[in-house]
Structures are given as C-alpha cells and as structure tokens.
Structure 1
Amino acid sequence: MSAIFTLDSLPSSFTDELKLPYRKYLKKGLIYSIILHICVVAAYGGAHYYQMYKQEQETKNIQQRIINVSLTDLEPPPSALDEETPPPKVEELTAPTKDLEALTPQPVAKEKADVETIKTQKELEEIKTPVSSTGDTGKFNYSGVVKIEDKKIEEKIIKKEITEEKEKTVYQSFEVEKAPECVNLQQVRSSMVYPPMAIEAQIEGKVTVKVLVDPSGNVIKIGSISGPEVFRDEVSSKSMQLQFTPGLQNGKPVKVWVTVPFSFKLN
C-alpha cells in the first residue's frame, strides 16, 4: 500500500524549516512585483505625456507659420488690363515743317569762316514761307492757313483701331458678351481633400483662384490664388479639372479669365 503524508503527519520541526524559506521568497516576490508594476505604469505615463507634448508643439508650429505669412508673400492679383495691348496712340497733328535752312545761319569753324554758303535763286523761289522785308530776325512766324488732310488721318486712326481689335485675344469676364459658366464645379469641390495639416491646426477659410478658359471651355492656365496658404496646392491641382461653357465675344468663342471660389470648412 502506498503511504500518503500530510503536513499534520510530519514532525513540527520539519514543517517549520519549510515555512521559513517560503515566507522569505514570498516577501521578495511581492516586493519585486510591486516595483515592476510601478516601473510599467511610470513608463506608460511618460510615453503618453511625451506624445501629447509633441502633438501640442507641432500644432503651435503650424499656427505660427500660418500667422507669419505676410501680405508681401502673396502674389498680386493680375491687373484688369492683363494681357491687353495698350490703346492706339493718336498722332499729333502738326504743321508741315518748312525749310528754314536759308533763314537760320549755321555756325562754322574759324578756319572756314571766309567760306560762305549761299542758296541759288531757284532754291529761294522754292521756299514758300514768307520772308520779312526787314531782314532775317531769327524767328519764324507764319500766319497762313495750314492745310491738313483729315481724310488720311481718319483712315490711319480707323486702321489702328481695327488692328487693335484683331490683336486682342484674351478678355476679362466682365468684357465679353457671355462669360463662361462652370459645368462641373460641384464635382471638383467634392473631389478635393482637406489637408491634414489644416485639420490638425483647425484651419478654415476661402480660397479664390483665377483661371484662363480657352474657346473650347478647358482651363489652360492658372492665374493668381488668394486665401490661406495651406489650401493653395490642393486648389491649384484640382482647378485644372474644371470645365466651362465657352465665353462669347461678337458671337465667337474667345479666351476669358474667370474667378472661381472654394470654401474649406471642418465638419
């Protein structure tokens, strides 16, 4: 038969020897476990505090960069006369120049002072300007009627105006008979992605972009962009996807500058 021993059946001296090391190691185990738990909690709290501090610093840096944007860094809006040729210059009407060479003496060098320049009688007769009977006074006073060919001058002005109209190929939206209208604005707005940096900094705003629409209604050029800088890259990249109805001038499609607004709001 197998023997089964219990603590009660063992001698008391033997059980006391077993309890001493048991209590000793139990006490050490409890101390070590408490220290280990304290270290784990402290490490977790320190990591969480460091993460919060880092996020706060990044948010402050983003807001500081946005505040430091000055008006001098922004691109000036294009002038209303952008890509327009200057108005034609009207020639001033002046009286025909008379031959005054015979009336005004010309200075000569000293060594050639004895050489005189005298016009012939035929050349003097060809000069139609009246000459004073008292001699040459050095001044030109003509009281006659100056004839100007008005017809030729008017023809020149009309030709310049026609040339000016032909050269003008780009218009502002307020200059054309019918301005272009965007047909997919809502679709482009819904495709825009809110910049993560703006979400972290809780930034909202309105961005206005100026685009050049060709006669087919496509955007061929991005002009000036105004608004918060954090949204400009997204607006610039998506604005090329806009589609318009052609702008009309004199019944023909032309290139037109159009301004398009975009609003960014956090939900």
Structure 2
Amino acid sequence: MSTVPMHDPLRLSANAEFKAQYNKTLRWSTVVAIALVLLIWMLTPDYVPNPYKLRQEEFEAIDIAEQQAVDIPPPPVEAPPPPKVVEAAPDDEVAEDVDIADTLMDLDEAISTAMPGFGPVGDEGFVASSENPKVLLQVKAEYPEMARRAGLEGTVTVKVLVGPDGTVKDAVIIVGVNPLLNKAALEAARKWKFIPGKQRNIPVKAWMALPFVFRMN
C-alpha cells in the first residue's frame, strides 16, 4: 500500500516569510535609490556654459612725425675719356706702332690705286664737293696686342663719310689686311673730326680715304 507524501508545514512557512521579506527589501531599495538620485540632482548646481572669448590686444597709437622728402641727387656720370689727339709729327719722325699717312688720299685715287677695278661709288654714296674736308682731329689706331704677337703688319685704308657737321657718319674698309687690324682702323677713323667739305660755300657730305699703317718696330 502506497503512501502520499505530505508537505512539511514548517518549510512552507519559512519559504513564504522569505519571499515576503525579499519583496519588502527590494521595494525599499528601489525607493532609496530613486531618492538618492533625486537628492544628487537637486544638490548639483546648474551647468552654465562659459564660451571662450578671444583675447583682444590693445595697440598703442604712435604719432610719426611727417618726414620731409629729401631729394637724392643722381650719381655722377663719368664722362668718357676724350679721344687721343695725334699731333702732326715732323717728316723725319716715325710713329711707334701705327702711322697715319702724311696726306689724306682722295677717294677716287684711293680706290683706283688700292683696288683696281673696284669701280666708281654709286649715287647713294657719292657726294660732290668743290672743297674737300680738312682734318681737325686725328685719332691714332691702337695696335691690337693679338695682332702684334702674331706679327701682323700692313696698311688699312678706310673710306669715311664726313657729314656737314664735320663728324664721321660712316666708315667702310677699302683695303683690309686682317680682321683685327681692320677693326682697329675703323674704330679710330670714326673718331676723326673734320672741317666739312663745301659746295658753293655750303657744308655738304663728302667721302675721304684714311690710310692707317700698322708696322712692327
């Protein structure tokens, strides 16, 4: 014959008391937690944002006295050295490096003597004058050092166009020896000064031939 288990009344009573006590404790814990949160929130001061402000620098105004403009004179311009003047030497005196012929050659004579078959100068280059130009200033040609070392010698004849003001307007090689000597003769010829040629007492342009003799001593 089987037996039906019976529940222990003491155990049931203890379980019921534990559950009741647990529910009561949980309720009080919840109330206390909420109260603490409310208390902390009430005691905490309100947050007031404090935006960052840029620091403004104060500048002190300084009065600058008006300055008077000072005119600075331009730097002095050095005048170019005057051309070398070659004084006419006596007949028995010989120049050191470069000789200038004693007499100026007429252009037609220079062309026919130095370059046979060269032909007459065209209308653009030829200017007729009844009175030939006369030399006021002779400039000696400098003997190029490279030509001197190479032993180059010879006579360079330069055709110059003398303007109505007595200055050389153009210079052309009629008889050349070497590019170095030709260049030296042209540079010297362009610095010559003349009393201009005349046609019926009126200054006109006229061509003249200037021979430059380069020889070693």
TM-score per shorter chain, which class?
A: 0.3 to 0.5
Q: Which has the higher contact order (CA 8 A, sep 6+)?
A: 2
Q: Which structure is higher in strand share?
A: 2
TM-score normalised by length of structure 2: 0.42
Q: Which structure is higher in helix share?
A: 1
